[in-house]
Structure 1
């Protein structure tokens, strides 16, 4: 290397430590390192020394890099005990400078805090190369992350908020730039965060003050959905002259990995969890005014499995049994979030506390529901126990999505059925009412079926379950696949009285528009 090249290298290395390395300087540094082996050695030594000093003065004190050995080293204050850690950190620094995207908006140093974990919903979150436990309020640093279970809500320094659903793999490169390698992400960008960028294997998405979501399916495709505002989507093609796709409110695009050609698609506001907070519309307040015995709004709970009872003066919580699925059980609902169930394949359901006792004389069960498929005998609510005894079943009758209510005693069975099947992928308001004289079934506020009791005497109900029936661990899985709901359930309420037709229609009309 010439004297001039040595001086240039020293200047570039100084810029690294100051965090002011421009895109052009990054290109030049990489070029010098690739052309001169001695420059690469000098660069690595410089990074090592800088990282040692940073570590000693506490800059990286909270980032605990994993030791390759399973046996922890004895504590020591000598140079030799922390040198391997510093070398490892230096290699991280070197790798980020050498292999990070040249035009990434941020030049933050590796390991620096750029965001915080503002909500953790049973999240199993890991930072590659570090042994850190993540809880609500934990700092989020530059690095590569894996979310195996649950939901993580991350808020950046600029106020940008992202909700990431498991399973997902992502990298955070700074306060304004991240990479989503796989999974689902919903972002709410504040005015201060305009320019926030998310890169995927197929595209780069730049925000201009908006609410948007991205789903990456491995090496297959990237979808971008804009719910409000505007984003720019640049496919990753060699020809940089190709114009990006501009998406505005209620527009979406898919970019297949094999072609990298943008394909216009319908925006899907029912796929992504965009908020973890449950709204309080007039509908919910009116339900409470009618004094339900239990009211499950299906709001997202931090433990990832509890369904809170929102009824006044009651605490009949329910607990989700996920079944054979890694996906968390919450999804966008008719109002706020909903309980998502995967049908016979997953075998998930929720069981309600035995403290909830549904009267035999009069009762009402009401909910918003959405079907993905129509499994045979899938239930919304049932009191079947492990012995197979059942006195109440509210769910499908037959194979074609006809909703019905069946009640039984030791002598007789009584049933009402809707003559029209439920639509797929659409929200429907349903209610069943038992009075002292008849059964009534409602759909979207209108009476669709009724049946006189004709002296039928109901018997006491067993503990209730939602979206499926209890499973016996000793029975083969194939025999336990009947009865599980495939879709979503929201705003499920139980009343110890018979609501009138006017009350049910009024509640349906009060529901806010989608």
Structure 2
């Protein structure tokens, strides 16, 4: 039923996209099939989710097969070996087809790693406010706050960062959201995340697997990104030394990368050279959630402040023809966004899809008909494709309190209950938990450190789109009437204790 609907939607009658995925993994997909599959994956989130599950199981089964004892040096293929290969192929398809098994990842992992040894020398710790669960080889262990990571354990990090130290001399910094497993004493499987790794002398051979590539260290410092964007491909960047990269699907191309080189893995298995992103990865564990902070204290340097190295590259400028004025703020200076004065334009795309996020700032607004936005990004005109924090403009149409804090996600919205148009400074926060649907539970609004009652809500999915030609990068104060100060956007859910602390400045 799903495939029929999918093919009809995209005019791909007769195209079996699930079979195309298997052909891609087996290296037998032709160019026409590859182009059709890429179209499916780029245009439909449900197809991408199914694709990632199939590739994930395929890769894990390959790892399990490689870890089985050798059958000897003979080049003659025995009946037993042929049966084993047929069984492996059958397992790939039957495991993927069993939706219940896919949903219960811990059961799959228990099967894969039942013969692995414990890894008492492998340690992990997390930045403040990270949300991490560990799925152990013997069952779900629950929320993890740090400690020893055993071979067979899978970490699922919804937000935050972790530092991984493996006993043989490997140190890694992983940015969330991330999902990774320790599949051997010197092997990590990353299904999602941004990982930077420093491999000490003597630990050569350390391997990072993603659903698409295998990266083998040859004495180096490197980074791997996987599954971080609905359209982005896996990337490998080498900063020191060299690594060997092998595609795990399609043409299964191999390359050796040296210092300053980088590649992305294409769907068909080719490895394409790309510019290096040296200096844009975390190499130390941050104290707390990654964020971007616009203080507006210096008109000559409007760019956001952050301890993440990539934020230094975020461009920020005033819109053309602007007449924004600096005024006294809650902390230092603020900007006056009176109508017609302009807004602050950044080149930061925003937080995409349904990833968790928090927006915090101070506002001071006079009594007026609310308009514009405090912060927004994504596609303004499309359902579920934008993210917007503002004041509620029209109580008659949507219900809710006019002038109250409002978060929009496409055609959906959640509206608070306090009219903020009183000419006084208020600290406002909008928090979304990343559950995929926006409603009065997943989106929480705060005013002056206190949770707001919801005066009106329209439930809708959350799929903020950043990579469309209509997408707009993050804007601050576009059309807004009032003062804005200390805008901070967090990659994750800001806890109430931190919200209260921010509101007391």
* TM-score bucket of the superposed structures, by smaller chain: 0.3 to 0.5
| Structure of higher CA gyration radius | 1
